[in-house]
Amino acid sequence: MSKLTFSIGGVHPDDSKLSKDCAIEVLPLPQTVYVSMNQHLGAPAKPLVTVGDKVLAGQVIAEPGGFISAYVHSPVSGTVKSIGPRKDLAGNPAVHVEIAVEGDEWVEGIDFSNDIDVNIKLDREQIIERVKMCGVVGLGGATFPTHVKLCPPPGKTAECLIINGAECEPYLTSDYRIMLEKSKEIVIGAAIMQKALGGCPCVIGIEDNKPEAIAAMSDAVASLPYEGIRVAVLAKRYPQGGEKQLINAVMGREVPPGALPIDAGAVVQNAGTALAVYEAVQKNKPLVTNVLTVTGNCLPVSAQHNYLFRIGTPISFIIEQAGGIPEGAAKVISGGPMMGKAIANLDATTVKGSSSVLYLSEESTRRWKESSCIRCGRCAEACPMGLEPFLLNRLVKAGDLEGLEAAAVMDCIECGCCLYSCPAGIPLLDRIRPAKGQVIGILKARNAKK
């Protein structure tokens, strides 16, 4: 197979897939879970339970708070102890439902058998409703409600469904493991979404540093009775898993500035999302579990894990189960080293989109001392969106928000390629990210006046 890739920018960090051979383990239940109402893109969910209520695993405990929002379900059976603000992974307050775990009793109607059902019985509308009611969101990072993505707006047509199996972030291996261990389920989930989108072709993109996953997914596609699904081999290149980069690599199309993937005829879903869709539609199981990698360059391979966890599990509990914070760890990160965020509060809990607990040594987190820009242009060469980060940095320092808007700061995908490539040690992304937030505020204020 020829290797596909995107046309602009990108970098080549060491992939460091240290935990790739660690099979998925089921994480024990903690004594208490704290389920966030703000764990998807869009409006926070609205709690439907009250303190003292008894709940079952899989029971709806919160409803969508708007059009772009999602249902939230209890990951355990137990008693609701409190409902109120609690700090999330970034240290920001968000409403959580605290549930004391009293067992593992589930609502009726969920199929827990290992039988693989290839017959997609539901029609398009029923699929979308089931995905919505099961609270499925994108598990590739943005956590956009999946049922919304499966309903293109009037005048827009899905010409290609792309399943993102790139997992281009260094260290992370949760998607890799599910592609090995749940390959048929992922393909069936893709076929379900393919049906919901009207039968468009489906491409499963996987980077070439995962030959075992490419083989497993290719075998699954060949063994199942679906048409129009194929595996595409992608070149190892960061950020190959970005939506716009995947569309460019697979379809050869550019998503216009300010536009959405559907404007280029594409719908992109993560491999984990495809698995969640399979479980929702074929097993009637809501999204209350996901797979998370515990890894790092200061952690021996024997202490690395890929855990199947329940949402709402405290990070501190996961760390304890994995053997504690390793000696030499200078930073604990949620996500990968390029786009992940340092965990400000270890008592914060997992959400639907949690992908890792990553330990990095002091040496690997140490940055070069910042010096003056040498006008080398490496940041612009590395930017996969064709931006000029050196210019954005100057505009940030000048406080020129209108200039930032004109220089397309809103197209920044916050991938960190500019910071990674800068020989002057300038913290480009650290400055661009908050400035982008200020520009968003201006745009919202402008739209409010219309």
pLDDT tens digits along 380-400: 999 999 999 999 999 999 999
What pLDDT, on a 0 to 100 scale, did the predictor assign at position 223? Answer: 98
Q: How confident is the model at residue 448 (pLDDT cuts 50, 70, 90)?
A: confident
Given a cut of 80, is residue 326 above it in pLDDT?
Answer: yes
Query: Who contacts 15 (Cβ-Cβ below 8 Å, separation ≥6)?
Result: 170, 171, 209, 236
Task: Inform me whether the pLDDT recorded for 373 exceeds 60.
Answer: yes
Judged against a pLDDT cut of 90, whether residue 2 lies above it is answered with no
Where does the pLDDT of residue 111 fall: very low under 50, low under 70, confident under 90, or very high at 90 and above? very high
pLDDT in tens, 300-316: 988 999 999 999 999 99
Residue 449 above 90 pLDDT?
A: no
SS3 per-residue string spanning the chain: CCCECCCCCCECCCCCCCCCCCCEEECCCCCEEEEECCCCCCCCCEECCCCCCEECECCEEEECCCCCCCCEECCCCEEEEEEEEEECCCCCEEEEEEEEECCCCECCCCCCCCCCCCCCCCCHHHHHHHHHHCCCECCCCCCCEHHHHCCCCCCCCCCEEEEECCCCCCCCCHHHHHHHHCHHHHHHHHHHHHHHCCCCCEEEEEECCCHHHHHHHHHHHHHCCCCCEEEEEECCCECCCCHHHHHHHHHCCCCCCCCCHHHHCEEEEEHHHHHHHHHHHHHCCCCCEEEEEEEECCCCHHHCEEEEEECCCEHHHHHHHCCCCCCCEEEEEECCCCCCEECCCCCCECCCCCCEEEEEEHHHHCCCCCCCCCCCCHHHHHCCCCCCHHHHHHHHHHCCHHHHHHCCHHHCCCCCHHHHHCCCCCCHHHHHHHHHHHHHHHHHHHHHHC
| Residue 172: predicted pLDDT | 98
The pLDDT score that the predictor gives to residue 363 is 87
- Tens digits of residue pLDDT in 214-236: 999 999 999 999 999 999 999 99
Q: Please report how many Cα atoms fall inside a 13 Å half-sphere around the Cα of residue 449, on the Cβ side.
A: 5
Tell whether the model's pLDDT for residue 366 goes beyond 60.
Answer: yes
Comparing 372 with 448, which gets the higher pLDDT? Answer: 372
pLDDT for 5-50, tens place per residue? 999 999 999 999 999 999 999 999 999 999 999 999 999 999 999 9
Q: Which of 267, 276, 271 minimizes the C-alpha distance to 352?
A: 276
In tens, the pLDDT along 400-447 reads 999 999 999 999 999 999 999 999 999 999 999 999 999 998 888 888
Query: How much is the pLDDT for 90?
Result: 86
Please report the domains of the chain, with CATH numbers, ordered by start residue: 124-283 (3.40.50.11540), 378-449 (no CATH)
The pLDDT value given to residue 52: 98
CA dist 68 and 74 (Å) reads 20
pLDDT beyond 60 at 1: no
pLDDT at 72 over 70: yes
pLDDT of residue 160: 98
Mean pLDDT, the chain, integer: 95
Residue 56 is predicted with a pLDDT of 98
